[in-house]
């Protein structure tokens, strides 16, 4: 990494832009919005330049790479449709659109939820019923037939998997969704490609230009120096971080599975190639790119090769280029790492939005312990974001749950992080006495004793076990638990994200073990095919599906009427009873949630210290008014959204 002082960078940026402008003007000559492009270029080029020079300034041909990069963005801009340019304009006028209380997200697999892209299009009425404004479709591009990590081994960033549809259909879908107020979110799996990607195939045939797109080594010398510092991500099925390929007698860097080859961003030609792929997606109308595995994109010997400063600079470089060529596009960070590192990617110059694994993990932690102290402590430290960013608040994703709280935060409450993780793993795999959860271990590492948890939300929340014993009390508790945790992601600000299937209480599907390419990866237990019969029951509140669905849907609709639940200020407060979580939104709504299966009463004197108007409040959800005489009591897993009455 090159460090230069800001003054020098600003001067050089200006000189470079003057010299490069004549190279791109001819490309824009016929474009009626050329002036807008040039305006944005002038505005964001210095940011891009500063990042680019820090990354590639020591390459003798850095100026050539700068020039080629600008040519790529000019060429893609020229191809950007009128519809998307209009969207660019709208987003520039209202850059914080994604912070609204109207935002509502869901994520699902094209094949498992709807069969194919046509099926997704036909599901739009359902998405509207749920109030969605944000739809994340899991990786849908061409990938290897068998070993493909659920699509996260991408063989082409431009060709939709033929089983799911065509690239033309994808562009149509983005537009159709947009007309219904829904932004399409896709993964940008940019840490690696599959070994079937054209670049990998060329590398395998001996082409040195493409070998330099990846991180390859002639022998074990360097891998042996890197490896001791690296974390194994899939220690059970894919131990180590390097894979030997006899065809070229080289070792390839493979952080995840052996068929997922890590890309080499130290090579400016690769930087540019991936820019082209990113802009291609932007021009298909994708509005948000989920930057998959962002912590891993830069490597440096002697470090753990996660969250390096260069990873941030790289994202900032791409971000500045998007502001110029496709300003409507946002980045979503997928960094499931230490809370400090999660937060480090978030901001308008890097990723505008990010998963909130800190809240997600805290919710499961508090469900297991029935104590909210650790959650409140952690979230008070880790929840606040820059004003121009937003969390994606979620309960389950397609991945495992790893107990990613900060050991320092735990230690401050006298909790031993290692022991607590051990407990949580026992609890969520159902091996702790009295546990309600039915989770499955994921990647147990005997060396570190670490493991993560697979399982659907409903199974982890107790519904599976309760149904197995057909115990109405347990079923009721599980349903209440499921609703309570949804009430939290719907009221904590940011964008709530539902994993499709959870809204009807889908439980684990163990049939994945019969499929050889899935059996070793327990994450498939929580990726079942949508069950049409169960979805049909969502309308009947006498069924479990219906009870869960109708209540979640009501919560979504109420959320949309409450600007105080839009992004921004969240303060976690002492509710005077450790079984009850409390937080205050914009000083206007007090959220209370009982994490216990027993009724809890609250001490109004404590609450009053945190929020003065507590004496006369109405629960927005039920309309119940609390006067100074009323006792403050929450039924098992009950939650309130309280507003003050005057
Ligand atoms: C991501 O997850 C995806 O969400 C996974 O589905 C993929 O398998 C993987 O990348 C490879 O593409 O370790 O256990 O900090 O935690 O990138 C899941 C980020 C993972 C990692 C995350 C990764």
Share of the chain above pLDDT 70, in %: 100
- CB burial string 402-411: b at 16+ within 10 A, e below: bbbbbeebbe
Distance 404 CA to ligand 1 centre (A): 14
What distance in Å separates the CA atoms of residue 6 and residue 9, rounded to the nearest whole number? 5
Q: 225-229, long-range: CB within 8 Å, 24+ apart, which pairs?
A: 225/301, 226/299, 226/301, 226/305, 229/302, 229/303, 229/304, 229/305
For 523-543, the pLDDT digits (tens) are: 999 999 999 999 999 999 999
> Which atom of ligand 1 has the smallest separation from the CA of 257?
11
What distance in Å separates the CA atoms of residue 94 and residue 123, rounded to the nearest whole number? 28
For atom 2 of ligand 1, which residue has the closest CA? 293
For atom 22 of ligand 1, which residue has the closest CA? 293
**CB 367, CB 595: distance < 8 Å:** yes
Distance 167 CA to ligand 1 centre (A): 25
Distance 153 CA to ligand 1 centre (A): 11
The position carrying tokens 């959320």 is 559
Check pLDDT > 90 for residue 235. Answer: no
Residue 126 exposure: Cα atoms within 13 Å on the Cβ side: 19
Distance 399 CA to ligand 1 centre (A): 7
pLDDT at 474: 98
Check pLDDT > 80 for residue 6. Answer: yes
pLDDT at 605: 85
Name, in order, each residue with C-beta under 8 angstroms of 497's C-beta and a sequence gap of 6 or more: 105, 106, 107, 134, 136, 392, 393, 394, 489
Distance 239 CA to ligand 1 centre (A): 15
Determine the 3-state secondary structure of 19 from DSSP: helix
Tokens of 333: 């960070």
> Which atom of ligand 1 has the smallest separation from the CA of 442?
14
Mutate to test the pocket of ligand 1, among 188, 192, 256, 343 (most ligand atoms within 8 A of CB): 256
The position carrying tokens 């994921």 is 442
Mutate to test the pocket of ligand 1, among 153, 231, 241, 292 (most ligand atoms within 8 A of CB): 292
**CB 596, CB 579: distance < 8 Å:** yes
For atom 4 of ligand 1, which residue has the closest CA? 399
For 289-328, the pLDDT digits (tens) are: 999 999 999 999 999 999 999 999 999 999 999 999 999 9
| Phi and psi, residue 114, nearest 5° | -135, 5
For atom 10 of ligand 1, which residue has the closest CA? 293
pLDDT at 607: 83
> Partners of 378 in the beta sheet?
none
β-strands 288-291, 390-394 pairing: unpaired
pLDDT at 569: 87
- Residues annotated as catalytic (active site), given as ranges: 292, 334
**CB 453, CB 400: distance < 8 Å:** yes
Distance 388 CA to ligand 1 centre (A): 26
Check pLDDT > 80 for residue 2. Answer: no
> Which atom of ligand 1 has the smallest separation from the CA of 153?
12
**CB 22, CB 29: distance < 8 Å:** no
For atom 6 of ligand 1, which residue has the closest CA? 399
Distance 430 CA to ligand 1 centre (A): 24
Q: What is the mean pLDDT of the chain?
A: 96
What distance in Å separates the CA atoms of residue 627 and residue 563, rounded to the nearest whole number? 25
Distance 293 CA to ligand 1 centre (A): 5
What residues are in contact with ligand 1 under a 6 Å CB criterion? 149-150, 152, 189, 233, 256, 292-293, 295, 334-337, 398-400
What distance in Å separates the CA atoms of residue 34 and residue 27, rounded to the nearest whole number? 9
For 53-63, the pLDDT digits (tens) are: 999 999 999 99
The whole-number average pLDDT for the span 202-215 is 98
Using a 10 angstrom Cβ sphere, with 0-12 exposed, 13-18 middle and 19 or more buried, the burial of residue 346 is buried
> Partners of 498 in the beta sheet?
106
Provide the phi-psi class of 151: left if phi over 0, else alpha when psi is between -120 and 50, else beta: left
Question: Of 18-32, 94-108, 478-492, 603-617, where does mean pLDDT reach its minimum?
Answer: 603-617
What distance in Å separates the CA atoms of residue 315 and residue 310, rounded to the nearest whole number? 9
Measured CA to CA in angstroms, residue 361 lies from 2, 336, 643 at distances of 37, 11, 28
What distance in Å separates the CA atoms of residue 17 and residue 12, rounded to the nearest whole number? 8
> Which atom of ligand 1 has the smallest separation from the CA of 191?
12
Distance 466 CA to ligand 1 centre (A): 31
User: What DSSP string describes 272-315?
Assistant: HHHHHHHHHHHHTT--EEEETTGGGS---TTS-SSS-HHHHHHH
Tokens of 264: 């080499």
For 503-524, the pLDDT digits (tens) are: 999 999 999 999 999 999 999 9
For atom 12 of ligand 1, which residue has the closest CA? 152
> Partners of 338 in the beta sheet?
none
User: What DSSP string describes 343-397?
Assistant: HHTBSTTSBSEEE-HHHHHHHHHHHHHS--HHHHHHHHHH----TT-EEEEES--
Tokens of 327: 């300003």
Tell how many helices (H) and how many strands (E) occur in the chain: 23, 23
For atom 23 of ligand 1, which residue has the closest CA? 293
pLDDT at 612: 82
Mutate to test the pocket of ligand 1, among 193, 233, 443, 450 (most ligand atoms within 8 A of CB): 233
Determine the 3-state secondary structure of 327 from DSSP: coil
For atom 1 of ligand 1, which residue has the closest CA? 293
Mutate to test the pocket of ligand 1, among 263, 293, 296, 396 (most ligand atoms within 8 A of CB): 293
In this prediction, residue 608 has a pLDDT band, given cuts at 50, 70 and 90, of: confident
Check pLDDT > 90 for residue 247. Answer: yes
**In terms of Cα–Cα distance, which of 252, 265, 251 is closest to 295?**
265
Tokens of 580: 């009850």
pLDDT at 604: 84
**In terms of Cα–Cα distance, which of 400, 376, 644 is closest to 523?**
400
The whole-number average pLDDT for the span 76-103 is 98
Q: How many CB atoms lie within 10 A of CB 169?
A: 17
The whole-number average pLDDT for the span 234-246 is 92
Domains and CATH numbers, the chain: 569-644 (2.60.40.1180)
> Which atom of ligand 1 has the smallest separation from the CA of 150?
6
For 417-468, the pLDDT digits (tens) are: 999 999 999 999 999 999 999 999 999 988 888 899 999 999 999 999 999 9
């Amino acid at each position: 990494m090159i460090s230069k002082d800001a003054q020098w960078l600003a001067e050089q940026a200006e000189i470079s832009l003057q010299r490069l402008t004549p190279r791109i003007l001819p490309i824009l000559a016929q474009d009626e919005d050329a002036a807008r492009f040039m305006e944005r270029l002038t505005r964001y080029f210095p940011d891009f330049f500063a990042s680019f020079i820090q990354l590639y300034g020591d390459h003798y041909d850095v100026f050539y790479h700068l020039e080629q990069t600008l040519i790529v963005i000019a060429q893609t801009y020229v191809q950007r449709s009128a519809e998307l340019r209009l969207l660019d304009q709208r987003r520039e006028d209202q850059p914080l659109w994604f912070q609204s209380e109207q935002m509502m997200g869901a994520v699902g697999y094209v094949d498992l939820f709807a069969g194919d892209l046509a099926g997704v299009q036909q599901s739009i009425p359902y998405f509207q019923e749920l109030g969605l404004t944000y739809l994340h479709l899991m990786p849908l591009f061409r990938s290897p037939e068998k070993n493909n990590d659920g699509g996260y081994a991408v063989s082409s960033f431009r060709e939709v998997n033929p089983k799911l549809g065509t690239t033309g259909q994808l562009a149509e879908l983005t537009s159709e969704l947009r007309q219904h107020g829904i932004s399409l979110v896709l993964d940008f799996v940019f840490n690696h490609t599959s070994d079937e990607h054209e670049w990998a195939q060329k590398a395998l045939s001996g082409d040195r230009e493409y070998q330099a797109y990846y991180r390859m080594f002639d022998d074990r010398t360097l891998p042996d120096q890197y490896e001791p510092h690296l974390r194994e991500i899939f220690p059970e099925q894919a131990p180590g971080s390097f894979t030997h390929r006899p065809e070229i007698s080289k070792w390839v860097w493979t952080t995840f599975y052996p068929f997922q080859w890590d890309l080499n961003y130290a090579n400016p030609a690769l930087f540019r190639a991936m820019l082209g792929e990113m802009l291609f997606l932007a021009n298909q109308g994708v509005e948000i790119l989920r930057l998959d595995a962002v912590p891993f994109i830069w490597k440096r010997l002697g470090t753990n090769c996660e969250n390096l400063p260069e990873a941030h600079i790289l994202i900032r470089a791409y971000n500045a280029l998007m502001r110029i060529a496709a300003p409507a596009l946002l980045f979503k960070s997928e960094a499931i790492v230490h809370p400090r590192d999660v937060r480090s990617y978030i901001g308008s110059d890097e990723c505008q939005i990010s998963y909130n694994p800190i809240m997600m993990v805290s919710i499961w932690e508090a469900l297991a312990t029935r104590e909210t102290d650790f959650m409140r402590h952690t979230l008070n430290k880790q929840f606040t974001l820059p004003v121009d960013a937003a969390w994606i608040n979620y309960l389950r994703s397609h991945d495992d749950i790893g107990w990613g709280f900060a050991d320092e935060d735990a230690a401050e409450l006298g909790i031993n992080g290692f022991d607590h993780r051990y407990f949580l793993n026992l609890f969520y795999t159902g091996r702790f006495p009295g546990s309600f959860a039915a989770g499955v271990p994921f990647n147990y590492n005997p060396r570190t004793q670490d493991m993560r948890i697979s399982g659907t939300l409903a199974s982890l929340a107790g519904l599976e076990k309760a149904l197995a014993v057909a115990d109405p009390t347990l079923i009721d508790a599980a349903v209440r638990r499921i609703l309570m945790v949804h009430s939290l992601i719907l009221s904590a600000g940011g964008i709530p994200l539902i994993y499709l299937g959870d809204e009807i209480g889908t439980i684990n599907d163990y049939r994945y073990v019969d499929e050889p390419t899935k059996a070793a990866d327990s994450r498939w237990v929580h990726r079942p095919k949508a069950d049409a019969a169960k979805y049909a029951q969502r309308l009947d509140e006498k069924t479990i599906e219906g009870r869960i669905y109708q209540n979640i849907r009501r919560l979504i609709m109420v959320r949309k009427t409450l600007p105080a639940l839009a992004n921004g200020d969240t303060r976690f407060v002492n509710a005077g009873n450790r079984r009850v979580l409390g937080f205050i939104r914009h000083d206007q709504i007090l959220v209370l949630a009982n994490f216990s299966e027993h009724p809890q009463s609250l001490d109004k004197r404590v609450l009053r210290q945190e929020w003065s108007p507590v004496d006369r409040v109405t629960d927005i959800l039920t309309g119940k008014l609390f006067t100074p005489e009323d006792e403050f009591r929450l039924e098992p897993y009950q939650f309130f959204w309280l507003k003050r009455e005057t």
